[in-house]
């Protein structure tokens, strides 16, 4: 198993630790802060509750987390080192020197710096090409963007390895073609920040009003389409050229004070702090983080359903995890036809829970519906088959809720074919967490012609594999609860 070394365990370092750990890497952490274990533990709790919910495949088994007393112990044998110490160049140079004294020369050192250029970080280094900027965004365990800045003095092998590792743990490495102070994204953030300071100083808006302007409007728009694509659409059918011609003159209008920065006087600092306290002081930082994480999961899962932006990246990562995790897509992939077929394996997302703190009853149906879809795929009722005009419609469903399941639980569904002849497909799904039975779902489906919307016999390409699976399952004991009706025991 690969090992990542995390140097500096603050908010960013803790997020990196969670991202690697939950993607199956062993992680070693070095941070002299006596509170480091507690702080990282709290970040990990948040990550465990949120990150798996982004995916529809089971994530890898969690790696082993080790806290080290020395840098030498931390980095020895590591394939990746992530430096997240405070933004002081002399401190970073000292840390890099000690890391490189003990690090495998083939490994990569990524720096989380939000402002320093690679050339500045590499000054005086034993091997400058080993050091890259890999600037993340908080929370690191959820947001995929990494600004990868190799700089002029770089080793293509190290850059390629960095892209491989970052992609493997579900991130989006954006290679910055030329080094510049604060890279790309933070320059946008700084511009918005400066304008916001002026709006507060001039009494035009409060901290809450500014945040509402972003999160209720263009913030969500930017999240799914970025800047230029958004403006291209704003230009109508004529596109970007029309937009620039129409709105270009605005650049000379007094819409911004970006060329001037307000002095951060005590009065202005107090004004901002007081307004922020009034806006959010009723929540602890941990509570705010949990709200943030749940909202991000919901937004990103919505994007996933549309296969758009960050959601498309999640769908790609799902496919990668399925290739290594093992949910069959064809009957030939099922290792033992005589046993119920594993049709679902995933974590329960935050947005699947209800006011009782456990999985909403509708989500049991969704999980069993996903299991049915997978079984259909296994027996040959593929998207191509459906496009040709044949499919199955569900005629009857009976779900038994046996035990509670909470957000983050790793569930699996095992499916037994009770009947699979003629137009009928009779399935019995059992949902488990480990060995604990959570629920069962019994489903009767009828094959239909999508042209007539009436019952029809399936084509041999589906009927034969389904019959083969039904025959193999005929020797299994009839599941407890099969054929039961509500209220009948």
pLDDT by residue (tens digit) across 46-97?
A: 999 999 999 988 899 999 999 999 999 999 999 999 999 999 999 999 999 9
> DSSP letter at 333?
G
Helix residue ranges, H only, 379-412: 383-387
Query: Where a domain ends, among 248, 282, 316?
Result: 282
Residue 306: inside a domain: no
- Same domain, residue pair 86 and 221: no
Whether the upstream peptide bond of residue 93 has omega within 30° of 0, thus cis, is no
Rounded Cα–Cα distance for residues 125 and 85 (Å): 17
Confidence class of residue 400 from pLDDT cuts 50, 70 and 90? very high
Q: Hey, is 135 helix, strand or coil?
A: strand
pLDDT by residue (tens digit) across 6-36?
A: 999 999 999 999 999 999 999 999 999 999 9
pLDDT by residue (tens digit) across 120-179?
A: 999 999 999 999 999 999 999 999 999 999 988 889 999 999 999 999 999 999 999 999
- Same domain, residue pair 168 and 190: no
Cα dihedral 383, 386, 392, 398, rounded to 10, equals 30
- Please check whether residue 87 is in contact with residue 115, taking contact to mean a CB–CB distance below 8 angstroms: yes
Tokens encoding 334 = 């099922």
- Same domain, residue pair 81 and 7: yes
- Same domain, residue pair 88 and 233: no
What does each C-alpha distance from 5 to 47, 327, 438 come to in angstroms? 18, 32, 38
- Same domain, residue pair 154 and 205: no
Rounded Cα–Cα distance for residues 73 and 96 (Å): 14
Rounded Cα–Cα distance for residues 130 and 79 (Å): 11
The CATH number assigned to the domain holding 32 equals: 3.40.50.720
Binding site listing for NAD(+) = 8-13
- Same domain, residue pair 197 and 233: yes
- Same domain, residue pair 83 and 141: yes
pLDDT by residue (tens digit) across 437-488?
A: 999 999 999 999 999 999 999 999 999 999 999 999 999 999 999 998 887 5
User: How many domains, in total, are found in the chain?
Assistant: 3
Confidence class of residue 250 from pLDDT cuts 50, 70 and 90? low
Residue 384: inside a domain: yes
Query: Where a domain ends, among 175, 202, 220?
Result: 175
- Same domain, residue pair 169 and 189: no
Mode of pairing for the β-strands spanning 26-30 and 65-67: parallel
Range of the domain at 347: 326-473
Residue 480: name the closest of 430, 431, 443, 434 by CA. 430
Global pTM value: 0.77
- Same domain, residue pair 157 and 204: no
Binding site listing = 8-13
């Amino acid at each position: 198993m690969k090992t990542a070394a995390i140097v500096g365990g603050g908010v960013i370092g803790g997020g990196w630790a969670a991202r690697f750990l939950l993607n199956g890497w062993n992680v070693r952490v070095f941070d002299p802060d006596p509170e480091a274990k507690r702080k990282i533990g709290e970040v990990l709790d948040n990550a465990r509750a949120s990150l798996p919910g982004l995916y529809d495949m089971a994530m890898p088994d969690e790696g082993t987390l080790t806290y080290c007393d020395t840098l030498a112990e931390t980095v020895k044998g590591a394939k990746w080192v992530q430096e997240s110490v405070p933004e002081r160049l002399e401190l970073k140079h000292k840390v890099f020197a000690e890391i490189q004294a003990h690090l495998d020369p083939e490994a990569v050192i990524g720096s989380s710096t939000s402002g320093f250029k690679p050339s500045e970080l590499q000054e005086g280094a034993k091997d400058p090409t080993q050091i890259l900027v890999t600037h993340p965004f908080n929370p690191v365990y959820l947001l995929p963007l990494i600004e990868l800045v190799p700089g002029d003095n770089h080793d293509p092998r190290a850059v390629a390895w960095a892209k491989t590792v970052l992609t493997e743990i579900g991130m989006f490495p954006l290679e910055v073609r030329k080094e510049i102070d604060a890279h790309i994204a933070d320059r946008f953030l700084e511009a918005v920040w400066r304008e916001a300071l002026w709006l507060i100083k001039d009494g035009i808006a409060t901290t809450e009003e500014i945040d509402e302007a972003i999160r209720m409007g263009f913030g969500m728009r930017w999240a799914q389409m970025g800047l230029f694509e958004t403006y291209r659409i704003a230009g109508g059918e004529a596109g970007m050229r029309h937009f620039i011609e129409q709105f270009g003159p605005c650049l000379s209008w007094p819409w911004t004070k970006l060329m001037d920065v307000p002095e951060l006087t005590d009065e202005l600092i107090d004004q901002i702090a007081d307004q922020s306290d009034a806006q959010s002081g009723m929540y602890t930082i941990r509570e705010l983080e949990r709200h943030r994480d749940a909202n991000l999961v919901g937004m990103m899962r919505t994007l996933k359903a549309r296969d758009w932006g960050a959601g498309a990246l999640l769908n790609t990562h799902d496919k990668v995890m399925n290739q290594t995790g093992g949910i069959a897509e064809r009957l030939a992939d099922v290792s033992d036809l005589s046993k119920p077929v594993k049709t679902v394996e995933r974590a329960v997302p935050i947005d699947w829970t209800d006011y009782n703190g456990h999985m909403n009853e509708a989500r049991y149906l969704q999980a069993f519906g996903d299991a049915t879809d997978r079984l259909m795929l296994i027996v040959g009722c593929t998207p191509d088959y459906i496009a040709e005009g044949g499919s199955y419609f569900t005629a009857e469903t009976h779900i038994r809720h046996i035990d509670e399941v909470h957000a983050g639980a790793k569930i699996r569904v095992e499916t037994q074919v009770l009947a699979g002849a003629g137009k009928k497909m009779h399935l019995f799904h059992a949902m488990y967490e480990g060995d604990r039975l959570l629920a069962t779902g019994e489903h009767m489906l009828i094959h239909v012609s999508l042209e007539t919307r009436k019952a029809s016999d399936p084509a041999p390409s589906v009927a034969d594999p389904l019959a083969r699976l039904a025959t193999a399952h005929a020797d299994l004991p009839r599941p407890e609860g099969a054929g039961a009706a509500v209220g009948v025991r």
